[in-house]
Amino acid sequence: MMKSPRKTVIGAGLALLLAPLAYVAAQNPVKPPKPNPDAQQQPAPTEPAPQTPSAPANKPGENPPRQSDVQARITVNSNLVILPVTVKDRSGELVPDLKRDEFRVFEDNVEQHIDMFTAEAFPLSMVVLIDNDLKDKDAEKVQASLMAILGGMSTEDEAFICRFDQFFHPGKGWTADQDKLSKELKRTSLDTEADVAPPSPPFNGTPSINNHSAIDDSAIDKGAQVIKGQPTKALDDAVFAAAMLLHDRPRSRRRVILLISDGVNGGRKFNKVTTEDVIKALLAENISVYSIAVPTAYFERKISPIDKERSPLIRYANHSGGEVYHATKEQSFEEFYSRLTEEARNQYTLAYVPRGTDRSSDYHSIEVRVKREGLDIKTRDGYYSGAVPAAQRP
């Protein structure tokens, strides 16, 4: 059978076209891909894999999901009474290994069920309240030590730098930026001359509760600004104002006042609120005061344990679950800054919903016990379920 001339011509043409391609393929054979040394470490997925949220770095023994859950529950559940609890042994060292079943909590002498327990670290919201009317030697020691405050702070902590004398002098506001805090501390100058009133109002957005200003110098006798030889400092008003600055900080943070002072207080003549009012505000806001007494306060026995019921520095700390440190030299200040921030950040947290107590009462006493013997327990004395009492004053 003879082939069609047309088909013969078409076949010959295709052969001529494909010949160069066959020659190129023969000269450049397909080579297998070279092995990628990173292929085993970074494989290319054929399908998108489900993403798992990455957890932040944590210290050994911490459980990230539980940490997040605890702080979220504390923030959301306003019915919880939150107790930061510090436990130390006889040598003053923190005891970090207690379990939930070793604690017992009593409210108004009625034992409560502990609904939440954790030993995880909490970030700090800390007002640094510095006495602006110290004796020269004390002021020099405090001034030289201020930068060491940053050494005890973590990147999650925030601070508000303030000073006081007859008046309350707030700084630049809340910040966790350590560069900003460093600049502010470097610029903090402690005065030794007569007090000067701050501009009025002292700063924008003055904190208030129940429409009452938390910072009010209307009751202070302006003619006493240059009186010497008698206490003129408004210590109670300053600590109360510091407490109000902490009013809006989240419940998931530790609320702390670092008070550096000689403990001299002008009493009712120079304070609108009393020490008792301040203690009530501290308990209502769940604020712990850590007092650092300068050398003069120690050597002149202004904070003597014998007179502890009259010493504001001791009373603020004892009632709020904080601590008092007696500084005798510059190195002591630096050591105390580190110790108190560690202690405040690493307290146990116990929380419960009150049961079996009179809810119509404004004040409720609290007692925390542990089964292990020989331990010192610090927490706040109680709490107020209503408005901050000091703000009710006319």
Q: Considering the chain, what percentage of its residues have pLDDT values greater than 90?
A: 46
Structure confidence at residue 301 (pLDDT): 56
**Ramachandran class of 335: left when φ > 0, alpha when ψ lies in -120 to 50, beta otherwise:** alpha
Report pLDDT digits (tens) over 307-352: 555 789 999 999 999 999 988 766 688 889 989 999 998 899 999 9
Report pLDDT digits (tens) over 357-389: 998 999 999 999 999 999 999 999 999 986 555
HEC readout, 279-346: HHHHHHHCEEEEEEECHHHHHCCCCCHHHCCCCHHHHHHHHHCCEEEECCCHHHHHHHHHHHHHHHHC
Q: Report, as an integer, the average pLDDT of 66-73.
A: 56
Tell me what the pLDDT averaged over the chain comes to.
Answer: 76
Report pLDDT digits (tens) over 215-245: 444 333 332 333 344 567 999 999 999 999 9
Report pLDDT digits (tens) over 253-301: 999 999 999 998 888 888 999 999 999 999 999 999 999 998 887 666 5
Strands 208-209 and 254-261: unpaired
Q: Tell me the pLDDT band of 168, cut-offs 50, 70 and 90.
A: very high
Structure confidence at residue 61 (pLDDT): 38
Structure confidence at residue 43 (pLDDT): 42
Do the beta carbons of residue 258 and residue 340 sit within 8 Å? yes
Structure confidence at residue 77 (pLDDT): 64
Q: If we measure between CA atoms, which residue out of 302, 195, 288 comes closest to residue 242? A: 288
Structure confidence at residue 330 (pLDDT): 60
Structure confidence at residue 296 (pLDDT): 82
- Pick 198 or 243 by higher pLDDT: 243
Structure confidence at residue 224 (pLDDT): 30
Structure confidence at residue 198 (pLDDT): 55
Global confidence as pTM: 0.72
Q: Report, as an integer, the average pLDDT of 199-213.
A: 43
Q: Report, as an integer, the average pLDDT of 143-152.
A: 90
Rounded Cα–Cα distance for residues 8 and 256 (Å):
99
Does the structure show a pLDDT above 90 at 391?
no
Cis-peptide, bond into residue 60, ω within 30° of zero? no
